[in-house]
Amino acid sequence: MMWGRVLAALVILLGHAVPILWAAPNVLMIAIDDQNDWIGCLGGHPQARTPNIDLLAARGTLFANTHCQAPLCNPSRSSLLTGLRPSTTGIHGLVPGIRSVDATRNAVTLPQAFRGAGYWTYTCGKVFHDGSLSPKERQAEFATWGPAPGMGRPPKPFAKVPEPRHPAMDWGPFPETESKAADHVIADAAIKALADAPREKPFFIAAGFRLPHVPCYAPQAWFDLFPEDKVQLPPVLETDRDDTPRFSWYLHWKLPEPRLKTLRDQGEWKPLVRAYLASTAFMDAQVGRLLQSLEKSGRSGETIVVLWSDHGYHLGEKLITGKNTLWERSTRVPLVFAGPGIARGARCRRPAELLDIYPTLVEMAGIPMERRPARLEGISLKPQLTDAGAPRDKPAITSHNQGNHAVRDERYRYIRYADGGEELYDMQADPNEWTNLAATAEHSETKARLARWLPRVDVAAAPGSLHRVLIRDGATGAVTWEGQPILPTDPIPTP
């Protein structure tokens, strides 16, 4: 043990102050983009191939009922990294970034907490939302920033979707050479960071993979794992939206992501599902390369590994694709912890939130209280990391713009929209969320119990908010989507 990596504390034992020494653990944080529960160990799709994430879960604790704070990249990542809910900060859209918002302008972020505690900090790929920090702001977060390559583009798109198309709305085998794929480059950078990390101090390395975010590109070999004629489509109920409030459509009113009808009309539903599975498998292989490098470094035994995704993704369920909903496919994400002090082969079914990662890591690392923010809205998962069955009464809460929230406990999902519309699902009896129970008298107590957890602080979108921003005027009931009014008589868009 190197003395530079040792933290000291004093405890009172038999009336005497006795020094106790322990090694500060390293942290390897692996972020995934738009990864829903189509992970082998989560069982979200029967054909999902994620052997490396599954192996990580087998040597650690899998939180099988984890949910994001927002079903959109910037608010989700901003929440995780600051420890504050979107309903507290007003960060609901793809902009602004945390240093442009009063509630988070001076927040001590997760990497800053570790950096301030003497850790060597490094990041590569997508951890903060792309473009959410200026170059000057970035240097105050991680000490060292590695490459964060984009996905690149083939000569022409693969997918047949209506024009004008968003450039990300594509899926197919690309590039030909694996080493040129963005996630391969990001894994290379993280592997080099592991090799370069100083031995005299602990490290905090954060690697953010881009897949399976669209465009869903992966080399041909990964598509070959999923022959198109064998691909299983997710279950869909054609009348699924008949018992959901009209307001549920407003959360994804007009988006680049195509509706299921469009995919069917263009013959692109199965190709998208196949590409998502292939992209997930390719991303998992890069996770495996990184974890194997950690093992070879000889530092695995002193390193906490945490793997998470920022939110989920629909692939036809609820008749849509994309995120921006408060249903299970959009909010449920993988969360795995492994390393010293963490139970092996454990599966926790208590509700957990991405917001819990910050308090968990600083507690597990023994970072002094004065180096932590005074306010973190998540709860440490340390009790469940030693005993997966340890009690936790608090449910998981997901928000998407002001007034729209989902509350998820071990059995039920309750949703309330800004206009008062409601949904309630029994996730044990109805895992596809096909039957809305909100209007049934026998579930009124369940609904009231979950409603008590709705955020009491629920601020409007921060100044400068753009993209995926939905606003309802509480006085008039008027609704705007990305600055454009939605009238009660407007037909629901089908493309």
- Active-site residues: which are they? 73, 129
Kindly give the pairing relationship between strand 26-33 and strand 16-23: unpaired
Task: Collapse the DSSP code of 392 into the 3-class scheme (helix H, G, I; strand E, B; otherwise coil) and give the result.
Answer: coil
Q: How far is CA 393 from the centre of its chain?
A: 22
Q: Note the Cα 479 to chain centre separation in Å.
A: 28
Closest CA to 279 of 73, 36, 43: 36
Cβ-contact 327, 318 below 8 angstroms? yes
Contacts 24+ apart (CB under 8 A), 432-441: 432/235, 432/237, 432/317, 433/318, 433/327, 433/328, 434/237, 434/240, 435/243, 436/243, 436/244, 438/414
What is the C-alpha separation between 284 and 125, in angstroms, rounded?
Answer: 15
Contacts 24+ apart (CB under 8 A), 258-261: 258/161, 258/162, 258/169, 258/321, 258/495, 259/319, 259/320, 259/321, 259/493, 259/494, 259/495, 260/236, 260/316, 260/319, 260/320, 260/321, 261/319, 261/494, 261/495
The pair of structure tokens assigned to 443 is 């579930």
Phi and psi for 334 in degrees, rounded to 5?
-70, 145
CA distances from 378 to 142, 333, 381 (A): 22, 16, 9
In contact, 72 and 401? CB cutoff 8 Å: no
Assess contact for 304 and 364: CB atoms under 8 A: yes
Residue bearing tokens 């129970």: 437
